[in-house]
Amino acid sequence: MRSLASYIRGLDPHLPRVVWLVQVGGVVNALGNGVVIPFIVIYLHNVRGISFAEAGLALSFAGVTALAAGFAAGPTVDRIGGRNTLLLGLLLQAAAFALFPLIREPWQAFALLGKASARPASGRGSPRCSRI
């Protein structure tokens, strides 16, 4: 038991507090999205009248968009910085979720879910990003 505790203490990378704060924020954001996403299908079907198939395709599109945003994150971080990239992504996500009550057609769900999922990571894709 003692060796396990010392091993775990040895894993501490001694990162600055701001890095820990950003990572904890990312975990909270991911957990929040994980709680909300299953209910998006129900919302789109029951409230907005979109079929389950179209709602599922919209969520699939959101996943593809999130993957593409991950590839775009590195160059974006190199240009405008990690903090600005993360802020831009989170603002886009908040705006997309705020516009959900305006969804009337399936294409609108695709557009808003694409924007809501396109939040680039805080620089993990960039080899030159050394600080947030």
List of the chain residues with pLDDT < 50: 122-132
* The pLDDT value given to residue 122: 43
* The pLDDT value given to residue 45: 94
Q: What is the C-alpha to C-alpha distance for residues 96 and 110, in angstroms, rounded to an integer? A: 11
Instruction: Give CA separation, 129 vs 17, 20, 53, 70, 124, in Å.
Output: 17, 16, 40, 14, 8
Q: What is the C-alpha to C-alpha distance for residues 124 and 82, in angstroms, rounded to an integer? A: 9
* The pLDDT value given to residue 79: 92
pTM recorded for the entire structure:
0.67
